[in-house]
């Protein structure tokens, strides 16, 4: 049995987040080195601020300035910072209740080691040199024994407020297609298409998934299908996809390989796009080193009758 | 013990647009929820539970957004749960909420669905590059266009039907202040002259990408008796699913859709949907899905759905109006789209649909589907309570 394949899969995307009035004021404040909280109906000050009262659900808009100094309420040591975290040397993740606030803010605390950090210790914000209106405008917290500075009493109204941020997200996986698909991919390397037959309904699945989705039983019996097949339906693609180097227009087709019980998808070439039709008989065209056929081209056989493929659209 | 009858007493939507840059996700859902409460003349304190739905988290990049939305929806101290069934989620979310009332678990439930597509790119979220797999060759339209061609082959429908649907839905949208697309200068010629993207699907026959939310207040008999405006009564509701791909799958008329509709009709005592149902709000993201769903839902025999469209039966003033709101073709915040269909059905039987009201609408079907035509959810609502 061929080896089960594995490969890294990294998903990355820069999400564009609209902030709404409260987060807009909070992040714009950070840009101006002002920390804002929001006052609730029971006179508490929440930092970071939220848009809606956690107790009454009423809208909150009364922004008040709090100090850049505060007290650690709890913490955990991070021995091995990962990419994208606030500091690249070991640090404490700390919840800090800023002076004037009733809730704590999560951020990094720069300290020499875990034995120098304790709940109740006094800290202050270390501002980033370049600030854009983001939580990273606070570079981190640092130990601080001095008095709280005087506040300006900012009301949260700024010129040129930040209204949106870009929040990049990244997920790292190790992906494995599993036993059945690994065998299918292995066979493709020899230009053979091998599916699996369901022991209950006898249908041949290409590509195989290792189980029949209709009967819910495992599949193991390998069946070679094709290489020829029938175009069962198709569309003509007139818009260029960003990540594909294919000249438009081209035909994207469902192709039922001979012996398979459902169609797979492929591009049709070797024939003008406007002459492709349902029932056209095709065969794969391979290019050097490719895992999948580059496209399928007409075999020259007479078209298949609709009745023979109408269940395979 | 029989089920508790379920009534819709409040409906709220945002004005759907391409990008709501002025609000956070919390602000967006809050707007729809407040409007639904105002319609029902209720407050947060009157709500016993919140059921929320949206499509994949990748669409906004906020994992489990419901966790942070509890404050915005007054759900603190109450049960709150999230439903996810791809594009049909707005419908199944409403049904989960309705079942909580029908089972007498809760008296009054707020249900809400949303999508803020401007925060991401749905096409990216749906076509992740999986190792070893062939890249998707054609995007969402390319996925559905071959099925449309299969329908045309099977039914013999003339190739003009898709443009008739788009022209109708865009005109209906002009009467709906919440709709995203308001194409005041729309003509049939313009639809037919729009670029062919994935032949046989033209640009004007596809849905937009929207930011929006939709909310409903569902309640029991006692709650309905206190309602300030006429309620919509749920007469039947069902969900069905099937695999994305399997040998014998009928993409043109999926079995899960047929079975789901049959279940709803059985619950509601509908013998002949074409005769007994006054209007339909169905999930049509590409215009050709109108005739396809007309057949799948039993309003026309196989191969005959396009004739209803062609003869004007599905127009707003026709015998069986379809997509009075302008439909998904005019508004598509994906996660909310199913609930907007359900809400439009309820607005119609309440007589609250404004300029797109169908006169005398007494029984209206709301329909949603999602994934690779694999999740279906539907409800039938009426102006009168269910028998029994």
Domain ranges of chain B: 7-120+208-382
Inform me whether the pLDDT recorded for B140 exceeds 80. no
Query: Does residue A175 form part of some domain?
Result: no
Q: What percentage of residues in chain B have a pLDDT greater than 90?
A: 89
Which residue carries 């066979």 as its tokens?
A187
Inform me whether the pLDDT recorded for B139 exceeds 90. no
If one counts the domains in chain A, the total is: 2
Kindly indicate the confidence band of residue A313, based on its pLDDT and cuts at 50, 70 and 90: confident
CB contact under 8 A, B199 and A9: no
A253 touches chain B (CB under 8 A): yes
A93 and A238 belong to one structural domain: no
Mean pLDDT confidence for A151-170: 91
More confident residue, A199 or B59: A199
Point out the domain boundary residue: A145, A170, A195.
A170
DSSP A5: P
Mean pLDDT confidence for B291-320: 98
B159 touches chain A (CB under 8 A): no
Q: How many other C-beta atoms can be found within 10 angstroms of the C-beta atom of residue B362?
A: 16
Point out the domain boundary residue: A138, A170, A202.
A170
B30 vs A contacts (CB less than 8 Å): 51-52, 59
CATH for B7-120+208-382 is: 3.40.47.10
What DSSP string describes B321-364? -B-TT--TTT---HHHHHHHHHHHHHHHHHT--GGGPPTT--EE
Inform me whether the pLDDT recorded for A1 exceeds 70. no
How many angstroms separate the CA of residue B248 from the nearest CA in chain A?
6
- Owning domain of residue A215: 180-309
Query: Does residue A2 form part of some domain?
Result: no
Query: Does residue A1 form part of some domain?
Result: no
Which positions 24-83 of A are in contact with B (Cβ < 8 Å)? 50-57, 59
CB contact under 8 A, A239 and B197: yes
CA distance B239 to A101: 48
B156 touches chain A (CB under 8 A): no
Lowest mean pLDDT among A148-152, B146-150, B280-284, B292-296: A148-152
CB contact under 8 A, B149 and A7: no
A118 and A204 belong to one structural domain: no
A150 and A226 belong to one structural domain: no
A142 and A279 belong to one structural domain: no
A216 and A105 belong to one structural domain: no
Task: Pick the closest to residue A214 from A223, A204, A224, A222 (CA basis).
Answer: A204
pLDDT at A114 (0 to 100): 97
Point out the domain boundary residue: A119, A145, A170.
A170
How many angstroms separate the CA of residue A249 from the nearest CA in chain B?
9
CA distance B214 to B233: 18
Q: E-assigned strands of chain B?
A: 7-13, 49-53, 80-83, 108-116, 196-199, 201-202, 211-219, 232-241, 279-281, 363-370, 375-382
Burial A2-38 (b: 16+ CB within 10 A, else e): eeebeeeeeeebebbbbbbbbbbbbbbbbbbebbbbb
A219 and A71 belong to one structural domain: no
How many angstroms separate the CA of residue B255 from the nearest CA in chain A?
13
Asked whether B60 and B68 are in contact (CB, 8 A), the reply is no
Taking the model in full, what pTM does it have? 0.96
pLDDT at B124 (0 to 100): 64
A203 vs B44, B137, B247: nearest CB = B247
CA distance A205 to A217: 13
A205 and A94 belong to one structural domain: no
What DSSP string describes B273-322? HHHH--EEE---SBTTHHHHHHHHTTSS-TT-HHHHHHTTTTSTTSSS-B
A45 and A156 belong to one structural domain: yes
Q: How many CA atoms lie within 13 A of B344 on its CB side?
A: 38
B120 touches chain A (CB under 8 A): yes
Which positions 154-183 of A are in contact with B (Cβ < 8 Å)? 163-164, 167, 169, 175, 177, 181
A310 vs B contacts (CB less than 8 Å): 154
Inform me whether the pLDDT recorded for A12 exceeds 90. no
Query: Does residue A13 form part of some domain?
Result: yes
How many angstroms separate the CA of residue A122 from the nearest CA in chain B?
29
Q: Which two tokens stand for residue B229?
A: 């405006």
A8 touches chain B (CB under 8 A): yes
């Amino acid at each position: 049995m061929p080896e089960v394949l594995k490969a890294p899969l990294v998903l990355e995307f820069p999400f564009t987040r609209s902030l709404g009035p409260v987060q807009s004021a909070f992040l714009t404040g950070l840009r101006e080195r002002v920390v804002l909280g929001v006052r609730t109906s029971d006179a508490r000050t929440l930092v970071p601020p939220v848009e809606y009262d956690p107790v009454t659900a009423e809208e909150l808009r009364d922004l008040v300035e709090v100090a850049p100094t505060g007290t650690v309420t709890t913490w955990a040591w991070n021995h091995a910072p990962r990419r994208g975290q606030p500091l690249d040397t070991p640090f404490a993740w700390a919840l800090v209740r800023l002076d004037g606030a009733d809730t704590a803010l999560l951020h990094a605390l720069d300290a020499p080691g875990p034995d120098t950090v304790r709940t109740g210790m006094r800290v202050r914000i270390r501002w980033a040199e370049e600030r854009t209106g983001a939580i990273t405008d606070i570079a981190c917290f640092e130990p601080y024994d001095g008095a709280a500075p005087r506040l300006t009493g900012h009301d949260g109204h700024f010129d040129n407020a930040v209204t949106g941020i870009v929040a990049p997200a990244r997920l790292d996986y190790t992906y494995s297609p599993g036993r059945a698909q690994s065998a299918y991919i292995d066979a493709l390397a020899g230009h053979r298409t091998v599916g699996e037959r369901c022991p209950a309904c006898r249908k041949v699945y290409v590509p195989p998934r290792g189980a029949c989705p209709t009967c819910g039983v495992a599949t193991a019996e390998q069946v070679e299908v094709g290489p020829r097949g029938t175009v069962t339906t198709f569309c003509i693609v007139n818009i260029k996809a960003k990540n594909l180097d294919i000249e438009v227009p081209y035909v994207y087709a469902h192709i039922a390989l001979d012996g398979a019980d459902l169609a797979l998808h492929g591009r049709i070439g070797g024939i003008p796009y406007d002459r492709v039709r349902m029932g056209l008989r095709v065969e794969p065209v391979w290019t050097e080193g490719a895992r999948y056929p580059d496209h399928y081209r007409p075999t020259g056989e007479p078209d298949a009758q609709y009745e023979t493929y109408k269940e395979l659209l | 013990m029989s089920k508790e009858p379920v009534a819709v007493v409040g409906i709220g939507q945002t004005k759907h647009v391409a990008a709501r840059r002025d609000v956070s996700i919390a602000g967006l859902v809050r707007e729809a929820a407040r409007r639904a409460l105002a319609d029902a003349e209720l407050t947060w304190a009157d709500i016993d539970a919140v059921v929320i739905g949206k499509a994949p988290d990748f669409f906004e990049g906020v994992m489990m957004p419901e966790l942070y939305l509890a404050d915005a929806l007054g759900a603190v101290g109450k049960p709150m749960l999230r439903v996810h069934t791809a594009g049909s989620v707005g419908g199944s979310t409403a049904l989960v909420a309705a079942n909580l009332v029908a089972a007498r678990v809760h008296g009054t439930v707020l249900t809400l669905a949303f999508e803020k597509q401007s925060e991401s790119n749905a096409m990216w979220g749906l076509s992740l590059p999986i190792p070893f797999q062939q890249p998707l060759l054609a995007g969402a339209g390319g996925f559905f266009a071959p099925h449309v061609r299969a329908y045309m082959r099977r039914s013999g429908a003339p190739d003009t039907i898709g443009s008739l649907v788009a022209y109708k839905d865009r005109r209906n949208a002009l009467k709906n202040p919440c709709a995203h697309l308001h194409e005041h200068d729309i003509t049939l010629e313009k639809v037919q002259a729009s670029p062919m993207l994935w032949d046989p699907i033209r640009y004007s026959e596809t849905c937009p990408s929207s930011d929006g939310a939709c909310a409903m207040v569902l309640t029991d008999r006692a709650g309905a008796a206190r309602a300030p405006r006429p309620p919509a009564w749920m007469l039947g509701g069902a969900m069905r699913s099937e695999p994305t791909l399997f040998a014998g799958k009928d993409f043109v008329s999926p079995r899960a859709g047929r079975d789901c509709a049959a279940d709803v009709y059985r619950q509601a005592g509908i013998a002949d949907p074409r005769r007994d149902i006054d209007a339909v709000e169905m999930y049509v993201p590409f215009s050709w899905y109108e005739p396809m769903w007309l057949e799948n839902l039993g309003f026309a025999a196989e191969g005959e759905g396009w004739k209803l469209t062609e003869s004007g039966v599905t127009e707003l003033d026709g015998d069986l109006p379809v997509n009075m709101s302008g439909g998904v073709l005019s508004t598509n915040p994906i996660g909310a789209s199913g609930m907007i269909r359900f809400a439009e059905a309820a607005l119609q039987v309440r007589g609250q649909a404004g300029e797109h009201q169908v006169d005398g609408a007494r029984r209206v079907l709301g329909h949603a589907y999602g994934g690779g035509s694999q999740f279906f959810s539907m409800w039938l609502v009426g102006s009168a309570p269910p028998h029994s």
